[in-house]
Amino acid sequence: MDRTRPFEVIAGRFGVSHESAKYFLGQVQKRFKKERPSHKLIVAYMSGRKFEFLPEPHDVAVMMHADGVWVHPMRAAPPASIDEEDLYF
């Protein structure tokens, strides 16, 4: 029986810390309003995809929703981050 935790899979695959992997999974869950996918479901979904780097949590949630893996209502997209260079014209 495999006892690897979902955050360990993400950490190993993308070379991030366990804390960062836990945060990522939590952020994917928070993209949905009430019903949230399990960490195992998120990892299983991502295992079928070839990502070169760790995607944005919102992007994973949108893909899961669009593919019918998790069809519960989503929250609005987070505001786009602004680079410091963009602040000075």
pTM score, whole prediction: 0.84
- CA 79 to each of CA 50, 75, 82: distance values in angstroms, whole numbers, following the listed order: 26, 12, 9
What are phi and psi for residue 74, nearest 5 degrees? Answer: -105, 160
- Which helix H or strand E contains 69, and what residues bound it? none
Query: Which residues of the chain have a pLDDT value below 50?
Result: none
- What pLDDT score does 78 carry? 79
Q: Which pLDDT does position 87 carry in this prediction? A: 57
User: Coil, helix or strand for 20?
Assistant: helix
